[in-house]
Amino acid sequence: MLTLWQWAVAFRFPLHRRGATGSYAPGVSMLKPLKGIDSETSECLESWLTQRYTGASEILFGVASASDPVCELVRELIARHPKANAQLVLCPENFGANAKVSTLIQLQRLARHNLIMVSDADVWVPEDFVAEVVAPFNNSDLGLVSCFYQFVTRTCVRCNVLSQLATRWENFAVNADFWSQVLQSQSLKPIDFALGAVMITRRGQLEKIGGFDALADYLADDYQLGFQISRGGTRLALSPMVVECRNVPMRWSEVWSHQLRWARTIRVCQPLPYFFSQLQNGTLWPCLWALWEPTGSVCTMTAACLLARMAVGCYCEQKLTRRRNLNALWLALFKDLLQVVIWALAFFGKHIDWRGQRFEVRAGGKLVKIGA
C-alpha cells in the first residue's frame, strides 16, 4: 500500500510544469556560498549568469578565503557575462559550526532585494528558472519555496565498478525515492521543511526568524529554515521546477559517509518519523514475510510486492530525470536493503564527517566540532 501511495503522489504532482507569465518579476538577490572547485563548477555557476529574467536581480558569490581556487573561476565568469549583475564577496568571518551559513550571514548584509534565493554551488538551472520559481510569490501568504533536485553524475571510464555502483545507488535514492517520499509527507500534513538545493523566501520572513544567524550552528540549515518559517504560521510550497545537482564520481566510502550523514541529520531533526520510516521499505517486509512463512501463496505475494516496488522506483526516477534507465528495476531492491543498514547505523552514533571536518550532531540538529 505504501509503495502504491508513493506512486500516486508522484503521478499527481506536476513536475517540470511551466506557468510563469512574465508579468510578475520582483527583485531577487541570489546568494551562492562557494568552497572549492571541481569539473562541474563552471557550468553550474554559469547557468545562473545566463538567466532570462526581466526583473531586477543580483548574484552574490560568497567565499571564505581569497586563496580558494573558485575565486579565479568566478572572476572569469563575471567577466564573460558583463550584463549579469554579479560580484564576488569575501566572507572571512565565522559565526558558528556551519561554515556555509556563516557565508550566508555575510551575503545577507549586502542583499538589496526583497526576495532572497539561496542555492548550492553544485546546482545547475535552466534559463527560465528564476522567472518560474519566483512566480508563486505573487501570493502574499507564501513564505518559502523550495525545489526538487536530481543528482547528475558524469560517466567516469576510469572509475572502478564499486565507485560506479555507489554513485548509482545514491543517485537512485534521490532521483526515485526522496522526492516522492517528500510528497507522501506533504499529503499527510503541510510541509514544514525546505529542500536545500534552492530555497527562496522573503526578506521579512528571514528577518522574523533572526536571519541566517539563527541557523549558524545547525547541520540541516535547509530543514531549519523551512521549519522556523513554517512555525510562524506561514505557508511553504514545492515548486514543480527541477534543478540538477551535478556531482563528480565518488568512492564507495565517500558515498557511504554522505548517506550516513543524511540519515543521522534526519534522525535528530525528526526522530519519530525517522524511526518509523522503514515501514515504507517495499523490499524488506515482503522478504521477511517470505522467510517467516515460505508457502507458495506467500512467495507469490512477495514476488508481486517486489515487482510493484521495482516498477514504482523506475517510474519515479524516469519522471524526475526524464530519462529511462532500466537498471532502476533492480536498484530499487538493492537500495532498500542497504537503506536498512544506514537506518540502523543512524541510531548508533552522533559523529559525522562534513567538509573535511569531524562533528558531533546533538539533539535538535546542532553541530559541535570535535576537538573544539
HSE-up of residue 336 (Cα within 13 Å, Cβ side): 23
pLDDT of residue 31: 98
pLDDT of residue 125: 97
Question: Is there a domain that residue 260 lies in?
Answer: no
pLDDT single digits (tens) 339-367: 999 999 988 877 777 767 777 787 777 88
pLDDT of residue 6: 93
Question: Is there a domain that residue 235 lies in?
Answer: yes
Question: Is there a domain that residue 55 lies in?
Answer: yes
Residues (pLDDT < 50) of the chain are none
pLDDT of residue 371: 64
pTM of the model: 0.92
Say if residue 46 is in the same domain as residue 162.
yes
pLDDT of residue 195: 94
Say if residue 214 is in the same domain as residue 308.
no
- Please report, for residues 97, 109, 166, 267, 287, the alpha-carbon distance to residue 222 in angstroms, rounded to integers and kept in the order given: 15, 19, 25, 15, 35
For residue 79, give the CATH number of its domain: 3.90.550.10
User: 127 lies in which domain range?
Assistant: 14-249
pLDDT of residue 57: 96
- Please report, for residues 2, 59, 209, the alpha-carbon distance to residue 40 in angstroms, rounded to integers and kept in the order given: 36, 19, 34
Q: Residues 345, 267: contact at Cβ < 8 Å?
A: no
Say if residue 64 is in the same domain as residue 180.
yes
Say if residue 167 is in the same domain as residue 309.
no
Question: Is there a domain that residue 200 lies in?
Answer: yes
Say if residue 234 is in the same domain as residue 293.
no
pLDDT of residue 320: 97
Say if residue 63 is in the same domain as residue 205.
yes
Say if residue 92 is in the same domain as residue 169.
yes
Neighbour count for residue 51 (Cβ, 10 Å): 18
Question: Is there a domain that residue 154 lies in?
Answer: yes
Neighbour count for residue 44 (Cβ, 10 Å): 21
Say if residue 52 is in the same domain as residue 132.
yes
pLDDT of residue 54: 92
Say if residue 90 is in the same domain as residue 199.
yes
pLDDT single digits (tens) 286-308: 999 999 999 999 999 999 999 99
Question: Is there a domain that residue 103 lies in?
Answer: yes
Q: Can you give the three-state secondary structure of the chain, one letter per residue?
A: CHHHHHHHHHHHCCCCCCCCCCCCCCCEEEEEEECCCCCCHHHHHHHHHCCCCCCCEEEEEEECCCCCCHHHHHHHHHHHCCCCCEEEEECCCCCCCCHHHHHHHHHHHHCCCCEEEEECCCEECCCCHHHHHHHHHHCCCEEEEEEEEEEEECCCCCCCHHHHHHHHHHHHHHHHHHHHHHHHHHHHCCCCCCCCCEEEEEHHHHHHCCHHHHHCCECCHHHHHHHHHHHCCCEEEEEEEEEEEEECCCCHHHHHHHHHHHHHHHHHHCHHHHHHHHHHCCCHHHHHHHHHCCCHHHHHHHHHHHHHHHHHHHHHHHHHHCCCCCCHHHHHHHHHHHHHHHHHHCCCCCEEEECCEEEEECHHHEEEECCC
Say if residue 76 is in the same domain as residue 18.
yes
Instruction: Provide the number of structural domains found in the chain.
Output: 2
Question: Is there a domain that residue 172 lies in?
Answer: yes
Say if residue 213 is in the same domain as residue 125.
yes
pLDDT of residue 158: 64
Cell numbers 539563527: residue: 214
Say if residue 206 is in the same domain as residue 139.
yes
Question: Is there a domain that residue 365 lies in?
Answer: no
